[in-house]
Structures are given as structure tokens and as C-alpha cells.
């Protein structure tokens, strides 16, 4: 009975961790799978209850830890031939619990990591200054670039920054993307001869984050 209870607690912890991360990781995964649509933005509605799911994750893991390591009977007290009496099974159970903790921690930290990567990448795609031209040579034609600020809806967490950036950078002609949460905006440097503002708006909308140009 104790083994079944601990397994259920571990399963509940994983489910709570998935629920805590789906608001931010859901759009990332769906976009990577080629699934798009404005409906994806509905997942961000779970972001306000993310702290509750994180709390539940910790509670379930704590309960499972107590059942597995603190309340588990000694091998001598277990029925002969049972899993409880097997040293190999007990080691396997402990290793499995540690593995689950690592998976859960990865799920909970992934949105923050993705958001930091997106923030650190700001400006990486900005147009480069042209190199000096030697005397007697005509300068090569530089592509004309434009800049637009998009006000983005549903962008409420760090993982959202990564999703919006990925959706915009996938368009040919986009040369730089900066995303921020406050205010929720995407600043895009692009080549108007290759991509239009309406295509930029469509890209974020299909990723689940409707947007509109503000400048």
C-alpha cells in the first residue's frame, strides 16, 4: 500500500509540474511541432495559477519522499520475497525518485531559462555597420531596413519571450528581434522588401500571441 501511495504522489507531482509549465512551455513545444493558431494563446491563462501548481508539486514530492525514505519499513520487517525486502528494488526506487525530482525541476525551470536566453539574445540580430570602402571603389548597395514595435498580447511569462522571438525570427527578412515583458512588446528590425508588418503580426498571432504595430 505504501508503494502505491508513493507512486501516486510522484505521479501527481509530475502532473502538477506539467500544469505549472504548460502556460509557457506549451506554446514552445507546439510551435516546434509545427502546430500553430491563435488558440495557443489560451494556454497563457494558466500563468496566474502557476505558483499554486508549483506549491502542489513541492507538496507531492515531499509526501513521496517521506513515504519512500522515512516511513519505509526496514527489510527485516518486510514479508519475505516482497519488493520491500529487496535491496535492489529499494535502490531502484531511490534512484527513480531522484530522477523524477530532476525532471520536475527541469520542467519548472525551463520557462525561466528560455526567457533569459531570449532576453540575452536581444540585439544579436541588429544590422551591422558597413565596412569602410577603399578609394576608387563604389560602395555596395546595403539592404534597406525598417524597425517596428509590436504590442504583443498574452505575453506574460519568460517562456513567452522565447516563443515570440522564435516565431518572428523564422520569417525571411527579419534581421533582429528584441522582446520584453514590461511593456509586452517585440521590437523587430526587418527588410521591407522581403517581409511585411502584416506578416510579422500574423507570425506572432499564429504562435498564440496576437500583436499590433505601435510605431
Express each pLDDT in 55-73 by its tens digit: 999 999 999 898 888 777 6
What is the structure's pLDDT at 121? 56
Low-confidence ranges of the chain (pLDDT < 70): 1-3, 73, 75-77, 81, 83-85, 115-143, 215
Q: 24 lies in a domain?
A: yes
**Does 98 share its domain with 43?**
yes
**Does 160 share its domain with 96?**
no
The residue range of the domain holding 91 is 2-112
What is the structure's pLDDT at 35? 79
What is the structure's pLDDT at 149? 95
Identify the domain boundary among 62, 88, 112: 112
* Beta bridge pairs of residue 25: none
**Does 16 share its domain with 104?**
yes
**Does 108 share its domain with 150?**
no
**Does 27 share its domain with 80?**
yes
Q: 127 lies in a domain?
A: no
Task: For residue 138, give Cα distances in angstroms to 11, 76, 131, 171.
Answer: 68, 89, 13, 31
Identify the domain boundary among 86, 112, 138: 112
CATH of the domain at 158: 3.30.70.100
| Number of domains making up the chain | 2
Q: 138 lies in a domain?
A: no
**Does 92 share its domain with 25?**
yes
What is the structure's pLDDT at 85? 65
Identify the domain boundary among 95, 112, 129: 112
Q: 118 lies in a domain?
A: no
What is the structure's pLDDT at 129? 41
**Does 94 share its domain with 155?**
no
Residue of 53, 158, 58 lying closest to 110 (CA atoms):
158
* H/E stretch holding 170: none
**Does 22 share its domain with 75?**
yes
**Does 35 share its domain with 77?**
yes
What is the structure's pLDDT at 126? 44
Tell me the torsion sign for CA atoms 27, 32, 38, 39.
Answer: negative
What is the structure's pLDDT at 94? 85
What is the structure's pLDDT at 148? 95
Amino acid at each position: 500500500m505504501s508503494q502505491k501511495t508513493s507512486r501516486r504522489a510522484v505521479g501527481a507531482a509530475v502532473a502538477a509540474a506539467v500544469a505549472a509549465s504548460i502556460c509557457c512551455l506549451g506554446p514552445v513545444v507546439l510551435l516546434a511541432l509545427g502546430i500553430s493558431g491563435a488558440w495557443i494563446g489560451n494556454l497563457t491563462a494558466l500563468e496566474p495559477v502557476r505558483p499554486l501548481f508549483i506549491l502542489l508539486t513541492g507538496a507531492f514530492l515531499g509526501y513521496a519522499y517521506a513515504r519512500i525514505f522515512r516511513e519505509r519499513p526496514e527489510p527485516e520487517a518486510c514479508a519475505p520475497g516482497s519488493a520491500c525486502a529487496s535491496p535492489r528494488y529499494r535502490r531502484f526506487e531511490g534512484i527513480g525518485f531522484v530522477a523524477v525530482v530532476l525532471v520536475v525541476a527541469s520542467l519548472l525551470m525551463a520557462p525561466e531559462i528560455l526567457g533569459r536566453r531570449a532576453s540575452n539574445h536581444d540585439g544579436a540580430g541588429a544590422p551591422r555597420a558597413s565596412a569602410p570602402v577603399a578609394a576608387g571603389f563604389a560602395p555596395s548597395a546595403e539592404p534597406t531596413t525598417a524597425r517596428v514595435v509590436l504590442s504583443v498580447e498574452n505575453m506574460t511569462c519568460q517562456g513567452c519571450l522565447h516563443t515570440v522571438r522564435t516565431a518572428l525570427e523564422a520569417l525571411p527578412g527579419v534581421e533582429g528581434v528584441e522582446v520584453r515583458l514590461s511593456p509586452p512588446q517585440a521590437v523587430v528590425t526587418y527588410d521591407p522588401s522581403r517581409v511585411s508588418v502584416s506578416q510579422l503580426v500574423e507570425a506572432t498571432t499564429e504562435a498564440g500571441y496576437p500583436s499590433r504595430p505601435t510605431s
